[in-house]
Structure 1
Amino acid sequence: MSIWQVITGLFIVLLIIEAVVLPYGSSKLNVYSGSAGILDLRLSYSVDKAYAIIGAYSDAGRTFYVTFTLTADFIYPIVYSSFFALLTTVIYRRAFAPQSWAHQLPLLIYITLLLDYLENACIVTMLTQYPDQITFIAKASSLFTTLKWMMAAISVLLLLLGVVILIVKRLRKTH
């Protein structure tokens, strides 16, 4: 199996998750919470806001959120991280010299995966311990959420950087 077949397969799975699974989970969570929202999709939140959102869910809603986080939101980070890392690696191999330190940059994408899992662990803890409020976990969750989104943006920028450098490199060869 070629790297492009793997990348294409990951892309198809990513599209299915983003077009079907995540919208299903989000809509169901919005129904359970009266549209209070989903912690994972915010850039940050206070302890009070986190517990206000969690409190807006019914018991069934909190149970669904935990189940969704431990299934779909467990698979999704692996898929998007692997897709971006492999695609960026292929582009960097063509954009940079073989011995360049830049070939290590796509590995940074896996920091997003780690942060997403840490965020999920905190959210599951808050959901399962509710109505008990664990301030430290809520603060850590918000921090991991913010860092996750920052690393996701950096991952996209790394991919775009590679594409731009590859285009410039190819344009220079034609002149």
Structure 2
Amino acid sequence: MRKFLIRFGSYKNIFFLFVLFLGFNLWILPGMMTGEKPLDLEINYTAEEAYSRLSRFSEEIRESYRMGLMVSDMIYPIVYSLLFSFIIFKLWQNEMIALLPFTILVFDFIENFSIITMLGLFPEKSIFWGTLAGISTSLKWFFTAITLIFVVIGFGKKTLEKKS
């Protein structure tokens, strides 16, 4: 992993991934918004709450949401995981900490697959898929918070090192 991070974690690649990250956040993902807040932007929800939300979507919106999850929201986790992994490695020079963003990716993929399955089964309800979606969403945001803490502390650490 260290060789990968050294080889591909250049400032040029970080900049490129940052531009892609901004593109997703400013143009692509907002275009997927349905008027209702998507499940993957919640911090926590139960299977019942998930199905309540999905029942408020029209069939067209559910299909649009499903397609967005299958296409855009499968690429986006790769982009942000690489971006944050490269940034963390530059700041900490520690490949174990740099793997942290990939835990977000794993839970984001599980979340996406669960929601896609729920949308595909709709109007049938599956407590299993609804619960798995809710748990993976919560874990995704938990590891996102930890990742951001490492980034902020890393920037602070680097700033203090430069001042000394």
The equivalent residue for 2:5 is none
Is 1:10 aligned with 2:17? yes
User: Which residues of structure 2 form unaligned runs of 5+?
Assistant: 1-7
TM-score by length of 2: 0.90
1:92 shift after superposition: 1.4
**1:138 is matched by which residue type in structure 2?**
G
Alignment of 1:99-118 (within 5 A): 102-118=94-110
- Structure 1 distance, partners of 2:58, 2:160, is 54
User: Which of these two proteins has the greater Rg computed from alpha carbons?
Assistant: 1
Q: Secondary structure at the match of 1:160?
A: helix
- Is contact 2:111–2:133 with CA below 8 Å preserved after alignment? yes
1:146 corresponds to which residue?
138
Write the letter of the residue equivalent to 1:5: K
**Cα RMSD between the aligned structures?**
1.4
- Give 5+ residue unaligned stretches, structure 1: 94-101
Q: Tell me the residue number matched to 1:67.
A: 67
Provide the C-alpha distance between the structure 1 equivalents of 2:77 and 2:53, rounded to a whole number of angstroms.
Answer: 23
Which ranges of 4 or more aligned residues in structure 1 deviate by more than 3 Å? none
Over the matched positions of the two proteins, sequence identity in percent amounts to: 27
Q: Is the 8 A contact 1:106 1:158 kept in 2?
A: no
Residue 114 of structure 2 contacts residue 129 of structure 2 at CA under 8 Å; is this kept in 1? Answer: yes
Q: Residue by residue, what CA displacement relative to the aligned partner does 1:122-157 show, whole Å, maximum 9, x if unpaired?
A: 000100001111001111110000010011111111
Asked if the contact 1:115/1:147 (under 8 Å) is kept, the reply is: yes
Pair 23,155 (structure 1): closer, same or farther in 2 beyond 3 Å: same
TM-score between both structures, scaled by the size of structure 1: 0.85
8 Å CA contact 2:9, 2:86 repeated in 1: no
Match of 1:22 among 3, 24, 29: 29
Matched, 1:157 2:152: no
One-letter amino acid of the counterpart of residue 27, structure 2:
V
